[in-house]
Structure formats: C-alpha cells, structure tokens
Structure 1
Amino acid sequence: MTKKILIIAGDYVEDYEVYSVYQSLVFVGYTVHIVSPGKKSGDFIVTAVHDFLPGEQTYTELKGHRVQINFDFEQVKVADYDGFYIPGGRAPEFLRLNERVLEITKEFNDAKKPIAAVCHGAQILTAANVVSGKKCTAYPACKPELTQAGGNYQDCAVDDAVVDGNIVSGKAWPAHPKMLQAFVALLGTTISHK
C-alpha cells in the first residue's frame, strides 16, 4: 500500500520547497496531495524563488512557477495520511493564521506521524504549539519564534537536517536531501541500492 503525504502550501511558497519535494515524494512512490486554504483541486498557487546576492542583508524574491492544487483543503482528514510536509517561503506567515491549518498540524503531531518543515515552515509548527522541548531548525529569522515557542533551535549547516521524534526540520531548500532521507525513513520506507 502506498504512503499518502499531505503538503500544505499557499501563494508565494518557496518554489523549490514545494515543487522539488512534491516530485521527489511522487518518485519514491507516494501519493502526494498539495492543498491550500480556499483553493480546490485544479486551482493554482504561485511560488517565489528566493536568492541571496553578495553584500545584501536578506534574500531577494522573484516570481516562480505556478503549482496546481490536486486536492481540496476542506476534504483533508489527517487519518488518511501517513506524513505531513510544510514548505517555507512567505506562505507560512499567513497560513499560520488559519485555524484549520493549526488543527491539522496538531493532529499530525498528536498522532506522532512524521512531519517535515523547512525554512519558514517552522512558523506553522510554532503557531500550532508543537515544538516545545524539541530540537528544530529553520531559516535563522525564525529562531526567535522557535525559542519563544519552547523549541531548542539548532544552528546547523544549511544543507543539514535536524530530527527529533516525529519532526524533521531544515533551514532552507539545500537541506532537502538530508530532510527527505530522514522523512522517508520515519515513514518506514527503505531505499536500497544494488
């Protein structure tokens, strides 16, 4: 039986953090639903590409690809899913204001199902109050939120992942290889090489 993964995203989600993860999880053989509050299957969200330019204090934002929603947000039942992935970008800053998004996050955590959050995705974890006592990482600008929510912020390399119980976290999209390895392992999937 294939695993089912839920991805919650919204407009101006980080392009790599939704698209490449979706494609990677489908490649592994999972069924992956991308949902967004107020959107139905067939609707689109727009993404943003974030980049760092030498000498600038923060990232720049460019418009990315359109991503098609493939499941209705209102029909999400946590019991139907094996794992939950939360991409970053600007979307989490408004998604964390949606009570159903927070309920879904809490339900996944209460059931100890694997949750992966990258970059600003940690804003949803902190708003849902699921990081207390957990080692986590996120984009460094989210460190105050993580620590105020009781999380133990880990200042790891940008391409590293932090795992504590059922939660996998990374600072930004360069962490995808290690995050996805850990997430897939938590889901009970083994990838072997011959």
Structure 2
Amino acid sequence: MSAPRLLLLAGDYVEDYEIMVPYQALTMLGYRVDTVCPGRGKGEHVLTAIHDFEGAQTYSEKPGHRFVLNADFDTINYADYAGLILPGGRAPEYLRLDPRVIELVRAFAHRPLAAICHAGQLLAAARVIEGRRVSAYPACRPDVELAGGVYADIALDAAVTDGTLVTAPAWPAHPAWLAQFIAVLGARIAL
C-alpha cells in the first residue's frame, strides 16, 4: 500500500518555517508530500523568507532557504491527494492572482485543507470561506471578512478547525495546527 499523498503549494518568499516544518513533520508521519509551484518544475526551487516577531508593529523578514520542489504543478491530479497545505509568507499575495491556484484551492474547499498565516489571502480569493470560522495572520482579517469568513481572533500559537478546514495565524501555531490537520485527515498517533 502506498503512502497517502498530500499536496503543498509553494511560491517564492513563502515563510520558511511554514513550508519546512509541515513538509518534514508530515513526511515523518508517513505521508508523501508533493510540493509544487506554478511556473516551476520538479527539481527547481523557491526562495523562502524567515518571518519573526521582534517587537515591531509587524513581523520582520530575513532571507531563508532554497526549498526544492518535488513535483510539477502542471501535472497534478487533485483526486490523487488526501489534502492540501497552504503555507503563508508573501507567496499567497501573488499566487492568488493565478486562476489555476484559485481552481486548486476551490477543489479542496470541502476536503482536508490546512492554511496558515497569509494563506488566508488564498482562501479569501478563492471564495471558499463564506460563513466559516477562519484564522490567519491578523493583517489578513479584512481579506477573510470581505470574503464572508468569520475571523477567529486567536493566539499566535493556536489553531481553529471548521469542518475540514484547519487554519492558524502564524508558525508559532505549528503544534496545534498540525495536530488538528492530522485529526482532519483521520490519522491517529499513539505513543
């Protein structure tokens, strides 16, 4: 039996922790995580950015790593995947302008979908959150509310699940966000 497959959407200046940690954690749990980016192919990379909370009015940004893609966006078949992961950073800001990305997000609107931080911009642009409780980076609150979502104003280290949609405000929420996403996927971890 092959490992369940998850799809992870990337783009330049995706938040480093928000792509690296889910990729590594979900792979460690036995999932096959295919990472894709529009306009880039398998073996190519995206640049990441490290966002930190250092007491300013918003996060700071520093150069991150090169994250290597392991699948081709143009050849993905949505039916092959048990769920979709949308990391944040600056990538969602421009990825939401690609009609194929919007189609992808809509295809997972009622399937397991994990979105964190600025990925709320993708959910809003795809119009898949009307009436749903959604968290995102606080600066994305207007996007969520204008798309009809109910903004969940929660701690930076918390997450919220609404049906099959799991959202969180930023990378400090990884433990809660990933645990809730794994539950939505139907996995159980026994220690």
Q: TM-score when scaled to structure 1?
A: 0.96
Partner of 2:16: 15
CA distance in 2, matches of 1:131, 1:45: 27
Instruction: List aligned pairs for 1:61-140, cutoff 5 A.
Output: 61-109=61-109, 112-140=110-138
Partner of 2:189: 191
CA distance in 2, matches of 1:182, 1:75: 29
Among all aligned residue pairs of Structure 1 and Structure 2, give the percentage whose two residues are the same amino acid.
50
Cα-to-partner distance string for 1:114-137 (whole Å, 9 max, x where unaligned): 000000011100000000000010
Instruction: List aligned pairs for 1:21-60, cutoff 5 A.
Output: 21-54=22-55, 56-60=56-60
Q: Which moved more, 1:184-193 or 1:15-24?
A: 184-193
CA RMSD in angstroms, aligned pairs only: 0.8
CA distance in 2, matches of 1:3, 1:93: 29
Which 5+ residue runs of structure 2 have no aligned equivalent?
none
Partner of 1:141: 139
- Code of the residue aligned with 1:155 in structure 2: it is D
SS of 2:129's equivalent in the other structure is coil
CA distance in 2, matches of 1:188, 1:136: 21
CA distance in 2, matches of 1:159, 1:70: 29
CA distance in 2, matches of 1:53, 1:124: 26
SS of 1:116's equivalent in the other structure is strand
SS of 1:25's equivalent in the other structure is helix
Shift of 1:3: 1.3
Which 5+ residue runs of structure 1 have no aligned equivalent?
none
SS of 2:57's equivalent in the other structure is coil
CA distance in 1, matches of 2:6, 2:54: 34
SS of 1:65's equivalent in the other structure is strand
CA distance in 1, matches of 2:177, 2:51: 19
Name the count of aligned residue pairs: 190
CA distance in 1, matches of 2:186, 2:41: 30
Partner of 2:180: 182
- Code of the residue aligned with 1:107 in structure 2: it is A
CA distance in 2, matches of 1:157, 1:118: 13
Shift of 1:77: 1.1
CA distance in 2, matches of 1:87, 1:154: 18
CA distance in 2, matches of 1:178, 1:57: 25
Q: TM-score when scaled to structure 2?
A: 0.98
Shift of 1:52: 2.3
Shift of 1:58: 1.5
- Correspondence 1:5 to 2:12: no
